[in-house]
Structure 1
Amino acid sequence: MTQNIELKGNISESQLGQRLDQALAECFPDYSRSRIKEWILAEKVQLDGKIAAKPREKVVGGEEILIQTQLEEEVSSRPQDIPLDVIYEDEDILVINKPTDFVVHPGAGNHDGTILNALLYHYPEIVNVPRAGIVHRLDKDTTGLMVVAKTVPAQTHLVAQLQAREITREYEAIACGMMTAGGSVDEPIGRHPQRRTHMAVTELGKEAVTHYRVKEKFRSHTLLRLRLESGRTHQIRVHMAHLGYPLIGDPLYLGRPRPLRGASEELRNTMRNFGRQALHAAMLRLEHPITGQMMQWQAPIPEDMQRLTALLRDDTAEQGMDY
């Protein structure tokens, strides 16, 4: 599936001396500079009726622009009829509440059955949008809110917001250990040097900042509210483990869980069988990529985390502790 597009405009006099790809990106902000560069190299861009030569050629101002091209299919995966929990939708974006055990994007070991496959089924035209409109991901077993772009312009603007750290994402998590106060972690994250499926705090990693506050204290655990500045793979899980407070149920970073002495059989069984990291993307706030309106959504805490929280609260009260 392809989509024909035609863009017309004029280089501004104030853009004198700019590179052509830079000037065109400013004239047509709905499309990324890298995409515009591809169009120039494919000879899809005309200036004053002549094919533009190179992305780096300089403009003088006043040139008439004509771009005639096609948006090719960006995704090769197959559509699959998988239900999505859509909590908001308009012509440009949709926001979904992802359940646990749902992979976002096909990869090794998960070639289909993903959110991307579901998007292609429910929104066939999204095949023309890079990564089917997925601009950020959640781990397979992390629940909660994700925004998806339905069009190329929406995707371009959402990616720009994400890179500028203008999208606010808040999470709730249950950590092992009792934290006394909130704070921030500013530690780079990269691939673990020995375990290739793990991430780790490492000097060679990319900048990563996580803010956290204590929402509720239990006898040996802490309910946290966290906010991401960056969005590195496994960021919250790695940062909390780095502090010595890994998330309950985390299959990669928890290590051997310590038994909770004096706990009820129900609590011990629930913690033993909690089959995922206790992490939920609870709030998402962003500027609508087309209208500019500030928008915010909340996703209720899933039942498994609610139940675990209630049991930890009861356990703390039964031990005569009050925080």
Structure 2
Amino acid sequence: MQLAWSESEVQDLHGALIQLKATIAQKMLGQEQVLEQVLLAMMAGGHALIEGVPGLGKTLLVKSIAESISLDFKRIQFTPDLMPSDVIGTELLEEDAQTGKRVFRFQKGPIFTQILLADEINRTPPKTQSALLEAMQEGSVTFAGERHVLPKPFFVLATQNPIEQAGTYPLPEAQLDRFLLHITVPYPGADQECAIVMQTTGVASQSLRAVMDQQQLQRVQQLVRELPISERLVRYAVTLVRETRPQDSGLSLVRDYLSWGAGTRAAQSLVLCAKAHAVLHGRLAVGRDDLRAVLGSVLRHRLVFGFQAEADNIRFADVLDALLQIPMPA
């Protein structure tokens, strides 16, 4: 299928993406891979769950992205006492000055934005976590029987701490599946960590300037959607996802240690993110390496391990290595 885009427009969008990545990287030293994966989620029009120990710059990353793109940005600090109305909004009783009648008016909550930083999302109870479900899937919220549409584009970039268990509530599988990618933030290298300390202990750095606007981002998302991909690669993506299901898998590691595998949404996410990966790297043809580059972040939060996996010290990395050995179908 021919891509109905001019070469100059594609080059302009790719140049804007490279500039965006370079601008944010000024603040995110040593986290280029993490930054790239968050950008892939936004290019594909999805949400991202960012996981890492405290002090690695998860919140700074999201703030830097918001500064570099001309989009509305709000932050919610999730706490155990946060209520759903604190997220989506509530109704206020107001009196009409002219008629004297009292009427209810919907007061929009912080979810009515374009980039929502859900900070420490696993520190709030499931009732409040569920307030995000409709917003993440449908781009709207329903309150008192009335549907309210969220601004477009809309992204939830959520953070969580993997080592703190006291006072946390694991995200239910239904909500995890609505995140396009689950991105882990590693420790930086020694040289990179020295550079970070030098940069952050001197004179306060200035805010980043916006280098991409809403229209450009939406054009990038359209390009990702329209980018052709071969049926062979789609079959490869579906094969990788189906091999995570114990009842269908030919991998003994999966049959022995996984309780549940990934659903069809994982295959959709894999194809979309592979397209975004190709566009970000200046290619208009999706290849096998694009699928493999995003496979870990697409599947990490969608597999449910059994008790035996913990007993035998089987980790996600082991399953990912086994999946990457699967050849492309003929």
- TM-score normalised over the length of structure 1: 0.22
Give the number of the structure with larger relative contact order, counting CA–CA contacts within 8 Å between residues 6 or more apart. Answer: 2
User: Per residue, is there more helix in 1 or in 2?
Assistant: 2
The higher radius of gyration belongs to 1
User: Per residue, is there more strand in 1 or in 2?
Assistant: 1
